[in-house]
Amino acid sequence: MNSRIPVLIVGGGPVGLALAVELGWRGVACLLVEQTDGTITTPKMNEVNVRTMEFCRRWGIANAVQNCPFPADYPLDAVFVTTLAGYELGRVPRPARSTAQPDPFSPMRFQVCSQTWFDPILQNFARSLPTVELRYRHRLERFEQSLNGVTADIVDLTTGTHQRIEAAYLVGCDGANSAVRAALGIELAGTGTISHPAHMFFRTPNLLERFDRAPGTFFFPVGHGGVWGNLRVIDPVTGVWRLMVDEVGSAATPESIDKMSYVRRAVGRDIEVEWLGLSIWHRRSLVAERYSRGRIFLAGDAVHQLSPTGALGMNSGIGDAVDLGWKLAATLEGWGGAGLLDTYDTERRPIGVRNVKMATGFYLNIEGFGEVDGEIEHDNAAGERLRRELGERLVRNIGPEFRTIGLQIGYRYDGSPICIPDGTAAPPDTAETYTPSARPGARAPHVWLRDGRSILDLFGRGFVFLQFADDEQASGLAAAAAGQSIPLTIERLDEPEALRLYERRFVLVRPDGHVAWRSNSIIAEPTNLIDRVRGAAGIGEA
């Protein structure tokens, strides 16, 4: 049996699903094959960051994510304790979504939504898109590419039937042990494995109430050896928890781990739990040396493997999917230039390097916290002083991984050949702070419009030309775009606040919501500009 499809996606984790959604939302036909049945038994990801929530808003599924079973009024604090039953040392406040102040930088808030809920939301939305086909229990066995396309052999794991698929492009979203990456001979570079953690999932309702502990999502038990893991609530309603032990040793097996002793160590006494699962994994710090070869692309954990500290794994991968999605659509629709798909690597690989570095740094803050001297459990004035000082140090050193708005929305495609620099200096790229910027390469910043929409709601389908001035600037550009069949919308805005933020009277925003170009003056050569931003090779400065 043979069939031809524009894009074959290998892997139905959150990144493969996000790519299917992005392509389907753009009307591009794609087939996703996933070797499992799609059920998540031991969820890894829990924190959907602000940028991913902005993409969910664009796709129309933000409400579904916000309405997941994680209660909107549950405080998201990270808490340092001696044990759950012992002393509280310090607390990083993260208010519940329903009580948090509106964020000035985004229409969306970061959202706790376990993969158990998030992946099915993506699956259901993908299934609702007429050009997307999801095939579970199907595995990619091998593939080869030519100048014109990719041939892939897929096996149906239920029936054992083999099928040959002809595709224009293949995207490997097949996770950390990506066979697609290995077959392409693409190496990973970086520190490699930095620890051997174990996850233990269990159910025990009302755990915090038993110890009169104020709610939070993360509880870090701190002993004399320092910080050794964390207890994270997955579902406060049904009492599902995950205990992560940061280092169980490279030889550990699920059978060799004494789960109950770790629970006792974290909680401070024996409790009854219903065990739901255990997995041992490698905490890595690695980025692929390239993100594509020919007609084959890689995204997500296949190209960046990072510590979960900072919640950047899936969120980085979804950023990959969005960047690649519009470029594949543009190329398949014929308006993407010959160099457009190459910019996927140029733009996303530096973000992978940045995020892996940050995530590793957050983990090293934990690992390097060091031993804790003194009698932190003593119920006297000296013990109290030690606990206060220790708590302050913990919040100062480890707290930053929970304040990452700059990391989440401040990434930029500096130096991209399809963004035209305007000579302004780059704002600082720091994890904790975000400096709104409409400099080319940056995510177009959020501002509320007078009609109640976010300016981000204007972006997504095609290019958007923002015109904060009433003149004929747009007509030449519209004609140049039409000449190349480029989807372009002109938005004339009488919005002083937006003009102040965007700093130029004319701004061109790409389909992924990043600024491509901005200026106060008339576009002398609109065709040059259009060719540049669509990745038509060899075009000079616009």
Ligand X SMILES: Cc1cc2nc3c(=O)[nH]c(=O)nc-3n(C[C@H](O)[C@H](O)[C@H](O)COP(=O)(O)OP(=O)(O)OC[C@H]3O[C@@H](n4cnc5c(N)ncnc54)[C@H](O)[C@@H]3O)c2cc1C
Binding site for ligand X (CB under 6 A): 10-16, 33-36, 44-47, 139-140, 173-175, 179, 199, 244, 281, 300-301, 308, 311-315, 317
Closest to ligand X by CB, 137 vs 492, is 137
Give the CA-trace dihedral at 481, 484, 488, 494, to 10 degrees.
Answer: 0
Cβ proximity of 47 and 404 under 8 Å: no
Cβ proximity of 202 and 38 under 8 Å: no
Closest to ligand X by CB, 246 vs 531, is 246
Closest distance to ligand X from the beta carbon of 29 (Å):
19
Determine how many CB atoms are found less than 10 A away from the CB of residue 100. 15
Give CA–CA dist 474/463, Å, rounded.
Answer: 13
Secondary-structure percent of the chain, ordered helix, strand, coil, rounded to 5: 30, 25, 45
3-class SS of residue 73: coil
Closest to ligand X by CB, 170 vs 530, is 170
3-class SS of residue 322: helix
Closest to ligand X by CB, 33 vs 507, is 33
Structure tokens at 334: 């014929």
Closest to ligand X by CB, 155 vs 490, is 155
Closest distance to ligand X from the beta carbon of 358 (Å):
13
Give CA–CA dist 6/30, Å, rounded.
Answer: 6
Closest distance to ligand X from the beta carbon of 463 (Å):
28
Give CA–CA dist 7/524, Å, rounded.
Answer: 37
Closest distance to ligand X from the beta carbon of 154 (Å):
8
Closest distance to ligand X from the beta carbon of 503 (Å):
31
Closest to ligand X by CB, 123 vs 519, is 123
Cβ proximity of 443 and 484 under 8 Å: no
Structure tokens at 374: 């003194």
Residue whose tokens read 């959202």: 111
Q: Among residues 186, 406, 385, which one has the least CA distance to residue 297?
A: 186
Determine how many CB atoms are found less than 10 A away from the CB of residue 351. 19
Closest distance to ligand X from the beta carbon of 15 (Å):
3
Amino acid at 8: L
Closest to ligand X by CB, 234 vs 480, is 234
Closest to ligand X by CB, 177 vs 520, is 177
Closest distance to ligand X from the beta carbon of 75 (Å):
17
For 279-312, give one letter per residue: b (16+ CB within 10 A) or e. ebeebbbbbbeebbbebbbbbbbbbbbbbbbbbb
Closest to ligand X by CB, 97 vs 387, is 97
Cβ proximity of 323 and 348 under 8 Å: yes
Closest distance to ligand X from the beta carbon of 118 (Å):
9
Structure tokens at 501: 């933020």
Phi/psi zone of residue 299: left (φ > 0), alpha (ψ -120 to 50 degrees), beta?
A: beta
Closest to ligand X by CB, 243 vs 507, is 243
Structure tokens at 73: 């009024």
Closest to ligand X by CB, 227 vs 523, is 227
Closest to ligand X by CB, 199 vs 446, is 199
Q: Give how far the C-alpha of residue 152 lies from the chain's centroid of Cα atoms, to the nearest Å.
A: 28
Closest distance to ligand X from the beta carbon of 313 (Å):
3
Give CA–CA dist 99/405, Å, rounded.
Answer: 18
Closest to ligand X by CB, 132 vs 438, is 132
Question: Which H/E stretch holds residue 490?
Answer: strand 488-492
Give CA–CA dist 382/375, Å, rounded.
Answer: 8
Alpha helices in 10-49, H assignment, sequence order? 14-25
Closest distance to ligand X from the beta carbon of 163 (Å):
13
Closest distance to ligand X from the beta carbon of 185 (Å):
17
Closest distance to ligand X from the beta carbon of 114 (Å):
9
Closest distance to ligand X from the beta carbon of 396 (Å):
23
Q: Among residues 117, 109, 103, which one has the least CA distance to residue 51?
A: 109
